[in-house]
Amino acid sequence: MGRSTEPAQVVEGYLGHLAVERGRAANTLRSYALDLGRYTEHLTVSGIDDLGAVKESDVSAFVTALRTGEAPLAASSTARALAAVRGLHRFAAAEGLIRADVSSRVRPPSQPSRLPRTLTVDQVEQLLAGCVGDGTVALRDRALLELLYSTGARISEAVGADLDDLDTDARTILVQGKGDKQRIVPVGRPALAAVDAYLVRARPVLAAKGAGSPALLLNARGARLSRQSAWHVLRGAAEVSGLDSVVSPHTLRHCFATHLLSGGADVRVVQELLGHASVSTTQIYTHVTVDTLREVYATAHPRARG
């Protein structure tokens, strides 16, 4: 007697496979179970009690139902559910439970592009002014934020930089991005001034409390500043400056890119500075600058009014 191809039974086997053989986390398994529960319910309502009888149109209908039902899901949640369904069908096909994977060509709904939230140049100055004081921590915090805005580095890249990665003579810093790819980024004079103040008046004090960390940015115990602590620094400055509602971990990176493009920088140069593998990733910032141009046009051109 062959194994059951009743959808709920196959789902149970698939979840067991993910847990035991793939070692998926408990939270991931719960999400898969929820999404696949929706799927089996959809198949039941459609009168389908055999996974082998499912057609591509049935999977497409499930995606449509998720988006247009009584409690429609967002495009991202629908895409997650479809990923679970496709995983289920791949598993069933590989196990010989069904003849073919009919879900492979079903595509998730397109997700609306989200333009990154950026600050004006004046708002960036306001944010940087949120780091006040001459104490060791205040000097470090100012150096961190100035570096983030001046280089467009991710927070993880900034805290991952070592002292030897900074070349003050060449005014550059070496950062290690995603996929362990390294890139050299110029550092502006205001950032260098902030870093110099930190290196002379703060880092030696912090370093004396630790065990000789090579990190450029140190915490109060003399160890490398963590990504979470750096995010708290940014949040703290945002609260002090009254910008806490519009600041995220990538805000200064977004500002770096947007302000460069607004100033006439070539998008491929910005791509290299940001460490993007594809220029299409960088081009989202061109939409931000076009929106700015459109606003200026709408308010300034006599034929744009009315």
Tens of pLDDT, residue by residue over 133-173, are 889 999 999 999 999 999 999 999 999 999 999 999 999 99
The whole-angstrom separation of Cα 267 and Cα 68 is 38
Q: Mean pLDDT, to the nearest integer, of 180-191?
A: 94
Pairing, β 172-176 against β 166-167: antiparallel
Q: What is the pLDDT of residue 3?
A: 80
The whole-angstrom separation of Cα 110 and Cα 97 is 31
Determine if residue 83 is left, alpha or beta; phi over 0 gives left, psi from -120 to 50 gives alpha, anything else beta.
Answer: alpha
pLDDT at 301 over 50: yes
Q: What is the pLDDT of residues 212-230, one digit of tens each?
A: 999 999 999 999 999 999 9
Unique residue bearing structure tokens 């103040």: 197
Q: What is the pLDDT of residues 11-52, one digit of tens each?
A: 999 999 999 988 888 888 999 999 999 999 999 999 999 999
pTM (2 d.p.): 0.63
pLDDT at 62 over 60: yes
Q: Where are the domains of the chain?
A: 7-94, 121-298
Q: What is the pLDDT of residue 1?
A: 40
41 vs 298: which has the higher pLDDT:
41
- Please give the CATH architecture assigned to the domain spanning 7-94: Orthogonal Bundle (1.10)
Q: What is the pLDDT of residue 58?
A: 96
CB 268 within 8 A of CB 279: yes
pLDDT band for position 112 (cuts 50, 70, 90): low
Q: Mean pLDDT, to the nearest integer, of 181-204?
A: 96
What's the chain look like in SS3?
A: CCCCCCHHHHHHHHHHHHHHCCCCCHHHHHHHHHHHHHHHHHHHHCCCCCHHHCCHHHHHHHHHHHHHCCCCCCHHHHHHHHHHHHHHHHHHHHCCCCCCCCCCCCCCCCCCCCCCCCCCHHHHHHHHCCCCCCCHHHHHHHHHHHHHHHHCCCHHHHHHCEHHHEECCCCEEEEECHHHCEEEEECCHHHHHHHHHHHHHCHHHHHCCCCCCCECCECCCCCECCHHHHHHHHHHHHHHHCCCCCCCCCHHHHHHHHHHHHCCCCHHHHHHHHCCCCHHHHCHHHHHHHHHHHHHHHHHCHHHCC
pLDDT at 305 over 70: no
In Å, the largest CA–CA distance within the chain is 80
Catalogue the long-range contacts made by 18-21 (C-beta closer than 8 Å, 24 or more residues apart). Answer: 18/87
Q: Which of 142, 166, 154 is nearest to 233 (CA)?
A: 142
The whole-angstrom separation of Cα 59 and Cα 82 is 8
Q: What is the pLDDT of residues 245-285, one digit of tens each?
A: 889 999 999 999 999 998 889 999 999 999 998 888 888 88
Where in the sequence numbering do the catalytic residues fall? Answer: 154, 178, 250, 253, 276, 285
Q: Which two tokens stand for residue 180?
A: 């362990």
pLDDT band for position 63 (cuts 50, 70, 90): very high
Determine if residue 180 is left, alpha or beta; phi over 0 gives left, psi from -120 to 50 gives alpha, anything else beta.
Answer: left
pLDDT band for position 8 (cuts 50, 70, 90): very high
Q: What is the pLDDT of residues 200-214, one digit of tens each?
A: 999 999 999 999 999
User: Going by CATH, does the domain composed of 121-298 fall within 1.10.10.60?
Assistant: no
pLDDT mean across residues, the chain: 91
CB 82 within 8 A of CB 106: yes
Unique residue bearing structure tokens 């991005």: 177
